Structure 1
Amino acid sequence: MIKRKFYYALVSIITLTMLTGCWSRTELNELAITVALGIDQSGDQFKVSAQVVNPGEVASQKGGSGNSPVATYTATGETVYEAIRKMTTKVPRKIYGAHLRLLVIGEELASGKGIGKALDLLSRDPELRTDFYIVVAKETTAEQVLKILSIPLERIPANKIFQSLETSEKAWAATAGVTIDELISDLVSKGHQPLLTGIQIFGDPKSGESTESLQRSSTEPVLTFADMAAFKQDKLIGWLNERESKGANYITNKVHSTIVSIPCTRDGMLGIEVVRSKTKVSGSVKNGVPKMNVSVQAEANVGEVECSEVDLSKKDTIAELESKTEEDIKRKIEAAITKAQADFKTDIFGFGEVIHREDPKYWNQYKMKWNEEFVELPVKVDVDIKIRRSGSVGNSFLKSLKE
């Protein structure tokens, strides 16, 4: 018995000694922690930009030495993989993407070569996380977006853009954070084409590339989310403006909260805060003809009143505000549908997936030409809004000023 225990102990010790080595280890000081990637088209090749963290500047408790907290490196290659590897000729460390927060795609690439081939590496590499957001650089390049350093409230620009997109998605409804898994799912679907948020530079981009821009109190140039990019398969085919983007996000049930501005009868505006929203999209096929229904139910509060004639103590007033809010949201949704059917001729809302679930037989017959069916698809829109609160005060003091 003692010999057997000794034998098991000896085997365990030998096994443990074999497991103690870290044969594949990579030291932290050998890695270039990449928080954002940009992919542009350069002739027939890909131009890849990497925003790399400067650990010394970020970790400093005294604001660092005045150097930039990040550095942007670029390289060009036949493939994205080749360009990243070629970047080692400029970067003293290995590009490490496990902390990636953002992927920026240049507009020229998106509308030219398409984004499909550029995404394969990012979905295949096990080192990369899949929760980073993807945006399209509107009227500029991905490289230029990543070079902007004058980002308020956040030392690392990629983190600021990531957090801004999360915040605006929840509070404004004209943007949407899309991850690579969601994007690829839409790319391969016959009944739902991709939508990505656009990012734009306002001001002189060159003035935002130097470290001096970090010391200025003004925040020009400004990176801002602007419109949404509509795709047909993997190619950019057009842009939704702000109102149409909100309408699209209502349809796809991505509205968390937003503001609806209603004009007063005489002068001024009234702001309604949508605090909860839920959209149900249903479809049917009758006599070989598909139809869609979009039903939005939401709760709202009165957020701001510039109207001196509005009396919030009356039920009729609240009912009128509910009706006007419903009309505004309905118009946004219908504007998005019209843009998709008339201009894009592409189903960016996922109506095809709904028809697939409702009538698989019809879908199997028409899925290869669904976009042609989508152009003539009748869509009924219903919006139901309930205003729950009018704020901490009753009627606006502006009413008393007018009396």
Structure 2
Amino acid sequence: MKKINFIYKIILLILLFMLNGCGQQSEIDRMLYVHVMGVDIVDDKYEVYVQIINLESKGGKSDNSSGGGGEQAIVGKGRGETVMDAIFNLYEASQRKIFWGHLSSVIFSERFLKEKGIEGIRKVVEMVGRNRETRYTIWMLGTTSKIQDLLTTFPTLNLSPIFTKLGDPIENYRQSSLVMPISLNHFIYNLTEPGGTVKIPLIRSIENYWHGDKTSEGTLIVDGYIFIDKDGFKGLLKDENMAGLKWFQPQADRVYLCLCREDQAPIFLVFDDIKIKTKPQVKNDRATFTINISVKGVVEELNQNVSKQFINEEAAKQIKEEIKRTYKKGLEMEADVYQLSEILYRNDPKAWKRLGFDKKFLLTEDSIQSIKVDAHIMESEKVKLEKMKIFNEK
């Protein structure tokens, strides 16, 4: 029995010496973590930017009572004939291993989308998709700004760069549902579906929004869309020209509307319940669409004494105007902003192909046959629907 135990001990000792443990693994505090990647094209060369976050910076580690030190992040740039060539050019200048598992978003420059189109997008998506460290839930963005300016714009109050629209756009979207974020998996899905058009949020850096004791800090704002389909870059919409798109977001939490007319005081509304139904009809070798929208919300600011019926009618009228304006702007750049072609394909794929939607842009101003909007303002839980009498008014 003693001899058997002795043999077991010898075998166990040999096995212990054979174990490698984590000897070939990189220490987590000795790697460089990519948070954002930006892609541009200059003189027909790919330029890849990466924002490397400092996990020791303030806001970066919750267990560091001192808040950490050093820069919040640093930006690197590689240049090459292809995306991977540019990335390996960046590797050459890196002092440590670059880890892609924390990649949160990819930014395309407008110039890149115009010059490289679908083929350029495919190369970037392929690089991200083939990398075993990345995920398909990263955010896709476009910009007309310099990518380096975006990646060196950090959040206020010394928060980590993780807490920006580049790393967590959903948090802000829940409060103001203007421009809907899009993840990589939905980006691929929309772009590869027959009749699909992708709208990428347009991000830029602006100044003079936030002020400290001695400084004025820049911030990131998402206020537009870039449109892409199988033919490549179509154009972009911003400001009032894209206002109609916010009503095509059934999952939106807070969509605001200002009833701002020259002949009346402004009324601000917020809608949190949007239902939309788009129905295609094919007749005489022509496709038309009817759009029915139902919205429910509350009054956030009331500067005049008006009835609920008046607000509902004015809101429905303005929503309809916004939808028409955005659709018309989309026609000017031959972009299917409301995904009407895809809706027709899903309802009647044979008609979609027979009419030629798979070959060219066929939408016209008359393609939308009717738009019906039903707006319903509910009584506020806190204040009834009337102008508040806080001060004695004359």
Residues 347/23 of structure 1: CA separation in 2 closer, same or farther (3 Å cut): farther
The answer to whether the 8 Å contact 2:78/2:87 transfers is: yes
Higher helix share: 1
Residue in 1 that maps onto 2:3: none
Q: 1:162 to 1:147 in 2, by over 3 A?
A: closer
Which position in structure 2 is the counterpart of 1:129?
135
Distance 1:183 1:94, change over 3 A: same
Q: Tell me, yes or no, if structure 1 residue 147 matches structure 2 residue 152.
A: yes
Equivalent residue, structure 1, for 2:4: none
The answer to whether the Cα contact below 8 Å between 1:346 and 1:374 also exists between their aligned partners in 2 is no
Residues 287 and 53 of structure 1, relative CA distance in 2, 3 Å threshold = same
Report Cα offsets for 1:29-75 as digits up to 9, x if no partner: 3421111111111211211111112233333422333x212111111
Q: Distance in 1 between matches of 2:84 and 2:381?
A: 54
Q: Aligned residue for 1:396?
A: 387
Give the Cα–Cα distance (whole angstroms) in 2 for the partners of residues 233 and 219 of structure 1: 42
- Cα–Cα, structure 1 residues 353 and 252, in superposed 2: closer, same or farther, change >3 Å? farther
- The offset of 1:153, in angstroms, is 4.2
Q: Distance in 1 between matches of 2:129 and 2:166?
A: 19
Aligned equivalents of 1:19 and 1:243: distance in 2? 64
- CA gap 1:102/1:215 in 2 versus in 1, 3 angstroms: farther
Is the aligned partner of 1:284 residue 2:258? no
| Conservation of the 8 A alpha-carbon contact between 1:37 and 1:49 | yes
Which residue of 2 is the match for residue 70 of structure 1?
Answer: 73
- 1:245 paired residue number: 242
What residue in structure 2 maps to residue 194 of structure 1? Answer: 198
Displacement, 1:245?
A: 2.7
Instruction: Kindly provide the amino acid, as one letter, of the partner of residue 133 in structure 1.
Output: W
Q: Structure 2: how far apart are the matches of 1:24 and 1:376?
A: 65
Q: Mapping of 1:114-125 within 5 angstroms?
A: 114=117, 115-116=120-121, 117-125=123-131
Give CA-to-partner distance per residue, 1:326-377, whole Å, 9 cap, x none: 1111111111111111x11121322112111222211222232241346652
Aligned partner (choices 347, 358, 367) of residue 347 of structure 2: 358
Q: TM-score, normalised by structure 2?
A: 0.84
Deviation at 1:93, TM superposition (A): 1.6
Distance in structure 2 (CA, Å) of the matches to 1:69 and 1:234: 39
1:112 alignment partner in structure 2: 115
Matched, 1:34 2:34: yes
Structure 1 residue runs without a partner (length 5+): 1-8, 205-212, 312-316
The answer to whether the 8 Å contact 1:279/1:297 transfers is: yes
Distance 2:219 2:358 in 1: 42
The one-letter code matched in structure 2 to 1:123 is G
Counterpart of 1:143, as a letter, is Q
Contact 1:187–1:234 at 8 Å: present in 2 too?
no
Moved more, 331-340 or 166-175: 166-175
Verify the 8 A CA contact 1:346 1:375 in the aligned structure 2.
no
Residues of 2 paired with 1:106 and 1:260: CA distance?
30
Moved more, 171-180 or 368-377: 368-377
What amino acid is aligned across from residue 127 of structure 1 in structure 2?
Answer: E
Structure 2 regions of 5+ residues with no counterpart? 1-7
Equivalent position amino acid for 2:159 in 1: R
Q: Which amino acid aligns with 2:140?
A: I
- SS at 2:343's partner residue? helix
After TM superposition, the structure 1 = structure 2 runs for residues 318-333 of structure 1, keeping only pairs within 5 Å, are 318-333=308-323
- The answer to whether 1:349 aligns with 2:353 is no
CA displacement at 1:386 relative to structure 2: 1.4
User: Within the alignment, does 1:25 sit opposite 2:25 as a pair?
Assistant: yes
Per-residue CA deviation, residues 48-106 of structure 1 (Å, 9 max, x unaligned), is 111112233333422333x2121111111112222222212222122211111121111
Which one-letter code corresponds to 1:76 in the other structure? R
Distance 1:96 1:184 in 2: 23
Q: Which of residues 338, 357, 382 in structure 1 aligns to 2:328?
A: 338
Contact 2:197–2:336 (Cα < 8 Å) also in 1: yes
Q: Distance in 1 between matches of 2:51 and 2:233?
A: 24
Determine whether 1:235 maps to 2:270: no
Letter of the aligned partner of 1:330 in structure 2? Answer: K
Aligned to 1:129, the other structure's residue is in SS state: coil
Distance 1:367 1:19, change over 3 A: farther
Deviation at 1:321, TM superposition (A): 0.6
SS in 1 for 2:196: coil
Count, aligned residues: 375
- Structure-2 change in CA distance of 1:240 and 1:367 (3 Å): same
Report the equivalent of 2:5.
none
- Letter matched to residue 136 of structure 1: G
Residues in 2 aligned to 1:265 and 1:69: alpha-carbon distance in whole angstroms:
46
Rounded Cα–Cα distance in structure 2 between residues aligned with 1:25 and 1:164: 29
Shift of 1:399: 8.8
Q: Structure 1 stretch 49-58 or stretch 176-185: which is displaced more? A: 49-58
TM-score normalized by the length of structure 1: 0.83
Work out the percentage of aligned pairs sharing the same amino acid. Answer: 19
